[in-house]
Structure 1
Amino acid sequence: MRAPDMRNPRPGADILRTALRRNVGAMVRGTVLMGLYQAGETAFPIALGLIVEHTMRDRGPAALGLSIGALAVIITTVSLSWRFGMRVLQKANTTEAHRWRVRVAARVLQPVAGDTDLKSGEVLTIATEDADQTADIIEVVPLLVSSLVAVVVAALALGLADVRLGLLVIVGTVAILSVLAVLSRRIGASTREQQARVARAGAKVADLIVGLRPLHGFGGNHAAFGAYRRVSTDARRQAITVAGVNGTYEGTALALNAVLAAAVSLTAGWLAFGGGITVGELVMAVGLAQFIIEPLKMFSEMPKYVMIARASAQRMALVLDAPPVTTPGPRRPAKGGGLTLDRVRYGALRGLEFEVEAGAFVAITAYRPREAADLASVLAVNVPPDAYGGAVRLGGQTLAELSVEAVREHMLVNPYDGEIFAGTLRTNIDPSGTGRMVPEAVEASMLTDVVALHREGLDHEVRDRGANLSGGQRQRLSLARALAADAEVLVLHDPTTAVDAVTEQLIARNVAKLRRGRTTVVLTSSPALLDAADRVLVLDGGVITAEDTHRNLLAGNEEYCLAVAR
């Protein structure tokens, strides 16, 4: 199955409908208050016209006081209704944006990934900018309705003075919106493309940050930067295109609104000159003609924001409506069971078969790194069971029969490049704060020297991606986290490649001791870890070609000796 098509508006429309439906109460309150604000704004020029009309007949202080009081009431109504109306709408907007951010993050963090082609940087953009722009629909609809209220009230007031003035406002508004509707569709298409290109640029940045150290190591940082620059340039060009379309839209809207205001003013002047309306009505008409520009501007801008919200909602649907890459089973593995691979074919693996009994400590040395990486991916369920041949059995049941959550609770696969997070040593080792084996894990991974080096101990601050730790310290911290989890089956992939030989020897002994009685598989070429294992499996050409203890293999297998001896 494929991810939702960007050209299909249904998933995005469903998201917008959901956002509107669960904010009906706030939107109704906001619409009433903002409608009251717009009505008050419209009443101001109407009141001025009436005051002029009344004052010309009665010029006493009582009339002046009444006029000032009426204006004070209108101004107070306008101020309070705007203040509380925007408070209601912005609270609903930010709350709704938070809901969508959390939902996108929860979908991405599910054990079974969605079938999308999006990179992490693109998902980050969707979870932030697109979530915010989708939630803007909560403000757009009430502002649209309140602007309509202002236009209707102005048209009615002018129509009472002269029907031709009211009709001019109504016909002019319809004509303006018809012209702008065409431009708003172009804005939607341009915005979708801009969002996609910005997301790709964000994904490229994320990739660069992750690979910054190795890029510096072999001098590839300049080429990588050039690749990012090309992606960013595409995003910049599209942003300029969108800015041009937006500028055209807003300029056209402003020009048309000004033309309508001028037409109302000139028509009112012509009618007053001919005696068709009074001086007070002329003042009202000119005031409304000036005022109506603002609600018309807001009213005419709403279609643009609707298109932007719709485009963002469609991008969120790429994540939220994406089908899972696999359908996991409902079962859980039996406790105390071992690990079995039965003719597994995937990538460099060519019918791989072996069995690790419960409680055994087995090392697998692969002559080709890709074979170890493919094996680790299969065991970590990063590859769906239906994407490879053969079967992997955990506790006697195939991975296809088990839920992903159950597999990962039972079996932990710790990658060689385990991520280090900003926080402390303790939160990296025990993220949930419920681990009972933190001290033992710290000792077994030889992280004790790092802890002792700092006054805060395990509470020593760790920067993002472990930037203030050496490569060996990061690797030992990742190993400590894996050991502290105390998984029933633990798979370690090259856990000691960045540490010195003496430390590696100590870690091998400590891991074997700590994991005694628990099933442990180590993918490694380290002589220390190979020697600490109960038995060693040699992976070559995608299959197991030899099996024995490390020392027996050294004595009787020349190829093995050349591959692992240091």
Structure 2
Amino acid sequence: MNILRRAIARNRWRLLAGCLLVALHQACEALVPVVIGETVDLAVATGSFLRLVTWVGLLGLLFLLLTVAYRTGARLLMRALADESHALRLEVAAKVLDPRAENRTGDVLTISTTDADHASYLLDYIPRIIGALVATTVSGLGLCLISVPLGLVVLVGTPVVLIGLQRAAPRIARRVATRQEVAGRASSTATDLVTGLRPLRGIGAQEAADARYREVSREALRATLLAARTQGLFQAASITVSTLLACGIAILAGWFALTGRISAGELITVIGLAAFLGEPFGALSAAPGWIATARASADRIADVLRASPAVETAGDPPVLPASGEILGVVAETDPVGLVQLYDDGSPDVLVAPHDPELFSGTIRENVVLSASDGLDDVLRASAADDVVAAHPDGLDHTISERGAALSGGQRQRLALARALLARPRLLVLHDPTTAVDAVTEHAIARGIRDLRHRPGSTFGTLIVTTSPALLAVTDRVVVLRDGEVVATGTHASLGAADPGYRAAVLR
């Protein structure tokens, strides 16, 4: 998948307009020293007031044109850049949010932010490169009209310099890619440590975790310094060569003026163009580094988007609850894969995974995602009312990202409350009470039953679990092995007659 080529294709019209406007701006910039030199030779030197007014007016129109072209082109290109960066973030997010995907959090963070920005910057680099080429060409032609040797210094010297600098691009790309990869590992490690801080403290593994992060962090620092050193040397070389080229033009022009080969106005034009050429020379010299960085980031994005799902979920769910039924499922093999079979994106189906996901904000913002009717009943059914009551701010209590400051049981209860409040026609729960105590688990089991399965209810609830408390409130229990039904009945009947069920559930 060529991310850069696709970015150009889907922004082609704004990119084309932006390139034309930037090229026009650079051409006008290059013409400014020419107009000033002509003003000196044709108006100032002759003492003609009318010519002075005419050439000054032309200079003013030139500045107006270049200003309008720049502002309009920059606006178009910045919009294209922002849209492309946003589109890349959405694609990466859609890929990693696939329940079958396997991605390290730190990698996702750097790819969806830094790499998405760097790849989309190509839409800014292309117009700048084209503008620099136009400016260099116009300047070179202008110098040829004054002196062919001066023009040839620009028109011949510039390609030679660029070809030489291009040889460093592959090394820059490799080192930038390494830097981004190692930075992703460091971010992932930091995220894992923060998320698992309580268990680490519980087993006394803080020092080992700290040593691991210190090692990854130092590796990231080394990669960053190496990439920065390479880019710095490349930039220093490009600036030095560009400056020497511009200085050579100015020195040669000064010699021509002293020997009478060019006029005072032409000298002003040459000096002005030499000073102006520093910017396009710098842009063209830096272009290989820009492209290398964009390519390295695009490759990392493409790796994420090309990744095959870790678990294939093709096929239909093996069992479904009847209307109004609460169905228990004991999956002897691959319960995670089973749960994923129900996640088909239908608005009538909601799958609440085993690991609850919370985000930074208030308790209310984590639970109430749309309508809040029946919130009190939902909080009681999920035993989340205790979590709310434990904080002076209640529902307005602020929780940190991923609910890191909450216990596992508190996170599970808030996530369950959110799922119950959505009122889906089919709710699939995967071990929603593994982190709560036995008393709370029984209360939650009864709460789910009473909330969703009152007389006349058409809701269906499917609970994948081995919890006796949850299975005891179901209407029916199905035992699955390798996707096949091997036993069915009530919790009580299976517990009495099926030794395998007793071993899995009543242990």
**Does TM, normalized by the shorter one, top 0.5?**
yes
Pairs within 5 Å for 1:140-159: 140-159=125-144
Go from structure 1 to structure 2 and tell me whether the alpha carbon gap of 1:537 and 1:334 turns closer, same or farther (over 3 Å shift).
Answer: closer
CA-CA distance at 1:286 after TM superposition: 2.1
- Deviation larger for 488-497 or 189-198: 488-497
Q: Give the structure 1 partner of residue 152 of structure 2.
A: 167
Measured against aligned partners, the alpha-carbon deviations of 1:350-408 in whole angstroms (never above 9, x if no partner) come to xxxxxxxx9466586xxxxxx98x64323223xxxxxxxxxxxxxxxxx5xxx751799
More displaced 10-residue stretch of structure 1: 117-126 or 482-491? 482-491
State the one-letter code of the partner of 1:377: V
Equivalent residue number for residue 344 of structure 2: 405
The superposition leaves residues 327-362 of structure 1 with CA deviations (integer Å, 9 ceiling, x where unpaired) of: 554757786469xxxxxxxxxxxxxxxxxxx94665
> 1:328, 1:530 → 2: CA distance?
25
Q: What are the Cα deviations for residues 272-311 of structure 1, in whole angstroms up to 9, with x where unaligned?
A: 3333322322222222112211111112212211111111
Cα 1:233–1:279, aligned 2, differ >3 Å: closer, same or farther? same
CA distance in 1, matches of 2:294, 2:337: 40
Residue 216 of structure 1 corresponds to 201
Residue 421 of structure 1 aligns with an amino acid whose one-letter code is F
Moved more, 239-248 or 267-276: 267-276
- The answer as to 2:132 corresponding to 1:193 is no
User: Which of the residues 273, 286, 311 maps onto 1:301?
Assistant: 286
- What secondary structure is seen at the aligned counterpart in 2 of 1:380? helix
- Residue 530 and residue 287 in structure 1: after superposition, are their counterparts in 2 closer, same or farther (change >3 A)? closer
Gaps of 5+ in 2: none
Change (3 A) 1:363 1:86: closer
CA distance in 2, matches of 1:330, 1:502: 38
Any residues of structure 2 matched to 1:341-356 within 5 Å, and which? none
Matched residues in 1 for 2:97 and 2:347: separation? 14
Report what 2:384 is aligned to.
Answer: 447
Kept in 2, the 8 Å contact 1:424–1:462? The answer is yes
1:274 paired with 2:221, answer no
Picking from 434, 441, 465, the partner of 1:523 is: 465
| CA-to-aligned-CA distance 1:488-529 (integer Å, 9 cap, x gap) | 464442605434x54444334334444659555463566x55
Three-state SS of the structure 2 residue aligned to 1:110 is coil
State the 1:140 CA deviation.
Answer: 0.9
Q: Within 2, Cα distance between the matches of 1:334 and 1:472? A: 28
Distance in 2 (alpha carbons) for counterparts of 1:435 and 1:421: 18
* Residue in structure 1 matching 2:30, options 30, 35, 42: 42
Is contact 1:333-1:407 (8 Å) kept?
Answer: no
CA distance in 2, matches of 1:466, 1:440: 23
5+ residue gaps, structure 1: 1-10, 339-357, 365-370, 382-398
**Using a 3 Å threshold, how does the CA distance of structure 1 residues 96 and 267 change in structure 2: closer, same or farther?**
same
Q: Is the 8 A contact 2:115 2:300 kept in 1?
A: yes
Within the candidate set 366, 373, 376, 1:428 is matched to 366
Determine whether 1:120 maps to 2:105: yes
Using the TM superposition, give the Cα deviation of residue 176 of structure 1 relative to its aligned residue in structure 2, in angstroms. 1.1
Distance 2:212 2:434 in 1: 33
Give a deviation string over 1:137-159, Cα, whole Å, max 9, x none.
11111111111111111111110
Q: In 2, Cα distance between the equivalents of 1:179 and 1:82?
A: 30
Q: How many angstroms apart in 2 are the aligned matches of 1:171 and 1:95?
A: 38
Q: After superposing the two structures, state which structure 1 stretch, 485-494 or 255-264, moved more.
A: 485-494
Q: Which runs of structure 2 are paired with 1:44-123 in the superposition (5 Å)? A: 44-55=32-43, 57-113=45-101, 118-123=103-108
Q: How far apart in 1 are the matches of 2:346 and 2:83?
A: 35
Cα distance in 1 for partners of 2:387, 2:16 equals: 58
CA distance in 2, matches of 1:488, 1:137: 46
Tell me the distance in 1 between the aligned counterparts of 2:161 and 2:278: 12
The letter for the 1-side match of 2:336 is S
Task: Kindly tell me the number of residue pairs found equivalent between the two proteins.
Answer: 496
Residues 442 and 480, structure 1, Cα contact 8 Å, conserved in 2: yes
1:20 to 1, 5, 8: 8
**In 1, Cα distance between equivalents of 2:94 and 2:477:** 40
Contact 1:181 1:303 in 2 (8 A): yes
Q: TM-score, normalised by structure 1?
A: 0.76
Whole-angstrom CA distance in 1 between matches of 2:413 and 2:45: 92
Counterpart in the other structure of 2:443:
506
CA contact (8 A) 2:246 2:277 kept: yes
Q: How does 1:480-491 map to 2 (within 5 A)?
A: 480-484=417-421, 485=423, 488=426, 490-491=428-429
Cα distance change of structure 1 residues 521 and 266 upon mapping to structure 2, 3 Å threshold: closer
1:229, distance to aligned residue in structure 2 (A):
1.8
What is the distance in 2 between the residues matched to 1:236 and 1:418?
33
Cα distance, 1:468 vs structure 2: 5.5
Q: CA deviation at 1:60?
A: 4.2
Q: Deviations over 1:111-131 (max 9, x none)?
A: 553xxx641220221111111
Q: Secondary structure at the match of 1:266?
A: helix
Q: Deviations over 1:429-453 (max 9, x none)?
A: 454x268775543222222344466
- Cα deviation for residue 409 of structure 1 reads 6.0
Give the drift of 1:552: 11
Question: Is the Cα–Cα contact under 8 Å of residues 380 and 413 in structure 1 kept in the other structure?
Answer: no
Task: Give the residue type in structure 2 aligned to 1:155.
Answer: G
- Show the counterpart of 1:388: none
CA-atom RMSD in angstroms: 3.9
The AA in structure 1 aligned to 2:446 is: R
The answer to whether the aligner puts 1:377 opposite 2:321 as a matched pair is no
Task: Report the identity percentage.
Answer: 36
Q: Distance in 1 between matches of 2:345 and 2:79?
A: 39
- Within 5 Å, give how 1:453-464 maps onto structure 2: 458=395, 461-464=398-401
Task: Classify the secondary structure of the residue corresponding to 2:167.
Answer: helix
Tell me whether 1:477 sits opposite 2:414 in the alignment. Answer: yes
